[in-house]
Structure 1
Amino acid sequence: MTGEEGMSRGPSFQFHNPSDAFRFVRALPDLEVQLAEVAECTSKHLRLKCLTPHVIGCFAHVLFSYTCGDAAGHNMVTIATQRACAWVLTNLADEYNIKNFYIEGQMASEKKASWGNVKVARGVEVTAWTSLSDAVCRRVLGCSSEHLYEIMQMGQEACIRNGQHGNNIDSANVLAAAFIATGQDAASIIDASWSHLTPEYDRESQKVTLSLYFPSMPVGVVGGGTRYATQQEALRILHCDGPGKKRQLAGLIAGFALALETSTAASVVNNTFAQSHERLARRASEDGRPRCRL
């Protein structure tokens, strides 16, 4: 399931004092239509959603949030915002005492883990969920549904104690593989790194319901690395190579991540986690003999 989507750029405007910065921010609602016209003329796919200002000292940081069609939109929003900011400097600098602007003031949280990307979608907001019976858990995962739930609950408590960013087991593994395979900006994995795994257990039916929420998954099915032949092939395999398939791609990646979360948790429960790494990830010793086992 997908929710909001967006892509942002966070320029900062420099003023002589904070009062001028606040005066400019108060005028932004009246300027939004004009700024949208200037920004949107750079791409037929781009639409300005909103402007979110923050005054910090003598700077007005303005988060420009857009929708970008089927593209992830990293470059698209940069070009559009540059054009809009240049228009502001040319036409409004004297009226609002603007000294200069900088295309990115670090408010967009690009390629960074931040609460900003949790509160406002940078990419596609997406949730994957499943419900597993006890019989399926025992047959496929090698553990009971209750035990699977308990280990996930235990992990949640440890995440809180450890102050971790989000609550997941290893969803970054899927993000890394899927982003590279489908031509996404690999460094933007960090934008999607916050995810929230929620286990719920029904003692009457013995079913465990699992949901994995990503507030920001910056993916696209056109532009950038999606143009390469191998990445196009991967998108075709996933049936995500056509128009309007960006949300479908985000949903598939979230689903794959939830599957890995479930599998990894089960391997911890049934004590195969270390064994699988030893068997599948390690080579034989240098003399050709298998590594010793206790």
Structure 2
Amino acid sequence: MTTRTVPGDTAVAIAAPDSTTPIPTRWVGPLRISGNAATGEVHVPLATYETPLWPSVARGARISRMVDSGIQATLVDERMTRSVLIEATDAQSAHSAARAIHDRLDELRTLTRTTSRFAELLAVRHEIVGPLLYVRFEFSTGDASGHNMATLAADTLLSHLLARIPDIRYGSISANYCTDKKATAVNGILGRGKNVTTEILIPRQIVADQLRTTAAKVAHLNVTKNLVGTLLAGGIRSANAHYANMLLAFYLATGQDAANIVEGSQGVTYAADRDGDLYFSCTLPNLIVGTIGNGKSLATVEDALDRLGCHSERPVGDNARRLAALTAATVLCGELSLMAAQTNPGELMRTHTRLERTNGAPHAH
């Protein structure tokens, strides 16, 4: 690991590319964070081929350190889901089966605990389409992102129900009402993964000096670009500039299932001019992250989670909650920087041209 200095920022640790880090990875920051899941100043890793992302997030992180409370991250909810498909003979029998399932919730919760030390059944929801019954199980899964834990529990619950409720039969262990790795409305409405809102209030002088813009310009652009533009494009419960950029880089660096950026990047940016100060927030209802499980045993990933403070002795689930908060704070840093840049004609392209002058190869900024 080498260290280089970013002009106007603190030292940035850079992981030299080798056989264990095939994607260029840099640690940027630190960002300052507070809230109910993480506090302090933390450098964050970003694995990406899009070289301007590092200084962009670093700019947002630098601004977070200029504000006393930094980025305030509030973890609102958490749950991993798996939906199953049950087939009945008609809608009436599907409805009867759904009522029978809800009558057995205590029984299903007890059964869930036999599938894992950490799985807890939180809720069951359903939809009926003709003779088809879609059942959405929602679980807490400790420090794991919970894909496999939820599927194992759902498989056990489904077999149990098929053996005890008449006039129904197996349809599928995954019925797309979860919804996994697809852009849908249901996850934003009901939640899947960690639901985190991050926010920061930036004094007007910092907005002018560090972002070279005004609160009014950022708030106006957020409406015209992120809200109206996304509406015209047919976005699904999403209004942001580029959450996917930060999510993918952070997910790859910390051993997450990168395909979950599909639903993870569905989120809403909100900006307001508060007497010249800029209030800026990012809400991400579908952050699917974990600190244990598949992908976490790689040396580079273990090192990243250690440095992030997400391998500490804490109550079950708290390491994953901390990771989710840091993920969301990283997203805010990059979103804030890009939105500010786009209020100034030509700034975005000039920056990309300057930073990518080596045809995308990593270099010092």
Q: TM-score with structure 2 length normalisation?
A: 0.74
Query: Counterparts in 2 of 1:129-148, with a 5 A limit?
Result: 129-148=199-218
Q: CA RMSD in A?
A: 1.4
**Post-superposition shift, 1:183?**
0.8
Aligned residue in 2 for 1:290: none
**Post-superposition shift, 1:172?**
0.7
**Post-superposition shift, 1:273?**
0.3
Aligned residue in 2 for 1:169: 241
SS at match of 2:178: coil
SS at match of 2:184: coil
Distance in structure 2 (CA, Å) of the matches to 1:80 and 1:121: 18
Q: Which moved more, 1:97-106 or 1:107-116?
A: 97-106
What percent identity do the matched residue pairs reach? 27
Q: Deviations over 1:80-131 (max 9, x none)?
A: 1111111122233xxx211324211111111111111101121000001111
Distance in structure 1 (CA, Å) of the matches to 2:191 and 2:169: 31
**Post-superposition shift, 1:10?**
0.4
**Post-superposition shift, 1:266?**
1.6
Amino acid at match of 1:11: V
The answer to whether the Cα contact below 8 Å between 1:16 and 1:99 also exists between their aligned partners in 2 is no
The answer to whether structure 1 residue 151 and structure 2 residue 151 are counterparts is no
Distance in structure 2 (CA, Å) of the matches to 1:164 and 1:10: 24
Q: TM-score with structure 1 length normalisation?
A: 0.91
Aligned residue in 1 for 2:119: 46
SS at match of 1:161: helix
Distance in structure 1 (CA, Å) of the matches to 2:270 and 2:214: 17
**Post-superposition shift, 1:37?**
1.8
Aligned residue in 1 for 2:26: none
Aligned residue in 2 for 1:257: 331
Q: Which moved more, 1:27-36 or 1:4-13?
A: 27-36
Query: Counterparts in 2 of 1:207-222, with a 5 A limit?
Result: 207-222=277-292
Aligned residue in 1 for 2:231: 160
- Choose from 258, 270, 275 the match for 2:350: 275
Structure 1 unmatched runs, 5+: 285-294
The answer to whether the Cα contact below 8 Å between 1:8 and 1:108 also exists between their aligned partners in 2 is yes
Distance in structure 2 (CA, Å) of the matches to 1:85 and 1:120: 21
Distance in structure 2 (CA, Å) of the matches to 1:142 and 1:235: 34
Distance in structure 1 (CA, Å) of the matches to 2:284 and 2:136: 21
- Choose from 167, 178, 184 the match for 1:97: 167
Structure in which a larger fraction of residues adopt helix:
1
The answer to whether the Cα contact below 8 Å between 2:81 and 2:137 also exists between their aligned partners in 1 is yes
The answer to whether structure 1 residue 110 and structure 2 residue 185 are counterparts is no
Number of paired residues?
A: 279
Q: Deviations over 1:215-258 (max 9, x none)?
A: 11111111111222111111112112234211111111111111
SS at match of 2:256: coil
Distance in structure 1 (CA, Å) of the matches to 2:123 and 2:223: 38
Q: State the structure with more CA Rg.
A: 1
